[in-house]
């Protein structure tokens, strides 16, 4: 364990993802910039009887490409996605895990809900075949921290390891807490991320009865169902997948000649203390999280060039979020490019924050803002600079922020690395 150094700079040196728009970073970036929707008719269950039948499913994924066959058979999709994303990020970083460094590397990785399918499948087994045939492995593999444990087993990483769970803010908080763990001296590098596999009929029905699931514009393709900040928005659509970022002490990364995508320079975490579902009026909670992220490292509000927002496409959520932007950024708000990638992936729930953090890092690295697709009818109550086409631009600082059930709010800020 090293001495704490709260001025320690944190680099992003590796990225990995499994998502509705691709199962590797290069494919994902190409599709995000190209405005390619990952939404399609649901294949996991018969959704023909529901008003909305689209989702952001992961396509062409093989767990056995990333895990031992036995481990893959026992675990759920969320763990499989998480292991794949983490292994990609580790390989991309160029860090080789050895007996000499494995205690100095950490993992902060979680799921918002774990793996509900294992519970449902084993209840069905119990009902049909009796209690003795319930799997002895299902409890260990259904937890929200199963992914962080399995990633450690798969990689041999033995350092600081935990699962930070804050519903749809889980990934954002994982990134922020990972940066702080390195500054505290708990580790020299951390695989930070999150994963989710929520596309099951019971979950779908629950969100539908909550009136959260959206529908496409009348007479238009199902790909228009997710339209953040648009006047006609009427709810989100479920997505799934995982994303991982390798965070590392910048000086150590420079010393080994690592590729540096960006720096993590801000992190904020707050709660609304208001309602488990609805956002507080004016977006007060997420506004305070953004203010905290700006203050932590002294980032001027007028130097934020881009935001990847929570942007779920819900009437109240998007409005509160836009009000929070105006409170925090004031007259600078119209100058901030808004890139709502949920328009292409759907809402990846616990995986949303890490995937959108990854997308934000790629924007900073490539100096390009991906589009918000499906945005067509401006809402007069939401005055934001919504990017509808891929936009090359100077990005010094970019923010990713998320809001989770339970009133959890998180924000992280990434800075372009110029080699200094």
DSSP state of 31: H
Residue 52's pLDDT is: 87
Q: Which of 160, 173, 326, 347 is catalytic?
A: 347
CATH number of the domain located at residue range(s) 266-415 in this protein: 3.40.47.10
Confidence at 117, pLDDT banded by 50, 70, 90: confident
The closest of 45, 388, 331 to 199, measured between CA atoms, is 45
The closest of 260, 248, 348 to 308, measured between CA atoms, is 348
Confidence at 120, pLDDT banded by 50, 70, 90: confident
**Which segments of the chain belong to CATH 3.40.47.10?**
10-255, 266-415
Reduced DSSP (H G I as helix, E B as strand, rest coil) percent helix, strand, coil of the chain, to 5? 40, 20, 40
Q: What is the mean pLDDT of residues 183-195?
A: 97
Catalytic annotation on 168?
A: yes
Catalytic annotation on 310?
A: yes
Tokens of 311: 């942007």
Residue 6's pLDDT is: 84
The closest of 185, 335, 293, 311 to 239, measured between CA atoms, is 311
CB contact set of 26 (below 8 Å; sequence gap of 6+): none
Confidence at 364, pLDDT banded by 50, 70, 90: very high
Instruction: Indicate whether 353 pLDDT > 90.
Output: yes
Q: Which of 168, 173, 187, 326 is catalytic?
A: 168
CA 255/CA 251 separation, integer angstroms: 6
CA 82/CA 92 separation, integer angstroms: 15
Alpha carbon 363 to chain centroid distance? Answer: 15
At 234-268, the pLDDT tens digits run: 999 999 999 999 999 999 999 999 999 999 999 99
Residue with tokens 């924000």: 411
DSSP state of 360: H
Residue with tokens 């991320």: 193
pTM of the predicted model as reported, rounded to 2 decimal places: 0.97
Catalytic annotation on 36?
A: no
Q: Which of 160, 310, 326, 408 is catalytic?
A: 310
Domain spanning 10-255: CATH superfamily: Thiolase/Chalcone synthase (3.40.47.10)
């Amino acid at each position: 364990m090293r001495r704490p150094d709260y001025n320690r700079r944190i680099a992003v040196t590796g990225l990995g993802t499994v998502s509705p728009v691709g199962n590797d970073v290069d494919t994902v970036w190409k599709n995000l910039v190209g405005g390619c929707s990952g939404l399609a008719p649901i294949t996991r269950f018969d959704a023909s009887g529901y008003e909305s039948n689209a989702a952001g499913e992961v396509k062409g994924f093989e767990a056995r490409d990333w895990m031992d066959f036995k481990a893959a058979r026992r675990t759920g999709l969320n763990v499989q996605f998480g292991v794949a994303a983490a292994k990609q990020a580790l390989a991309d970083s160029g860090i080789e895990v050895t007996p000499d460094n494995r205690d100095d590397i950490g993992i902060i990785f979680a799921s918002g809900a774990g793996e509900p399918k294992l519970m449902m499948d084993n209840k069905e087994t119990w009902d049909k075949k009796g209690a003795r045939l319930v799997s002895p492995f299902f409890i260990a593999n259904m937890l929200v921290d199963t992914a962080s444990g399995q990633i450690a087993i798969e990689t041999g990483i033995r350092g600081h390891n935990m699962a930070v769970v804050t519903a749809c803010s889980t990934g954002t908080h994982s990134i922020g807490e990972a940066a702080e763990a390195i500054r505290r001296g708990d580790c020299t590098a951390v695989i930070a991320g999150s994963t989710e596999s929520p596309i099951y009929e019971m979950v779908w029905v629950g969100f539908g009865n909550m009136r959260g699931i959206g529908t496409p514009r009348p007479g238009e393709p199902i790909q228009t169902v997710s339209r953040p900040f648009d006047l006609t928005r009427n709810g989100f659509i479920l997505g799934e997948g995982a994303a991982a970022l390798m965070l590392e002490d910048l000086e150590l990364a420079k010393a080994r000649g690592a590729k540096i995508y960006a720096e993590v320079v801000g992190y904020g975490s707050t709660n609304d203390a208001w309602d488990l579902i609805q956002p507080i009026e004016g977006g007060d909670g997420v506004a305070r999280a953004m203010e905290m992220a700006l203050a932590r490292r002294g980032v001027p509000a007028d130097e934020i060039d881009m935001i990847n927002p929570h942007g779920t496409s819900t009437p109240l959520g998007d409005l509160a979020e836009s009000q929070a932007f105006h409170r925090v950024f004031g007259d600078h708000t119209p100058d901030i490019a808004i890139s709502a990638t949920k328009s292409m992936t759907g809402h990846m729930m616990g995986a949303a924050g890490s995937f959108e953090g990854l997308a934000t890092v790629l924007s900073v690295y490539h100096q390009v803002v991906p589009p918000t697709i499906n945005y067509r009818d401006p809402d007069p109550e939401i005055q934001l600079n919504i990017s509808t086409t891929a936009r090359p631009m100077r990005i010094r600082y970019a923010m990713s922020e998320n809001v989770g059930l339970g009133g959890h709010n998180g924000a992280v800020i990434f800075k372009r690395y110029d080699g200094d």
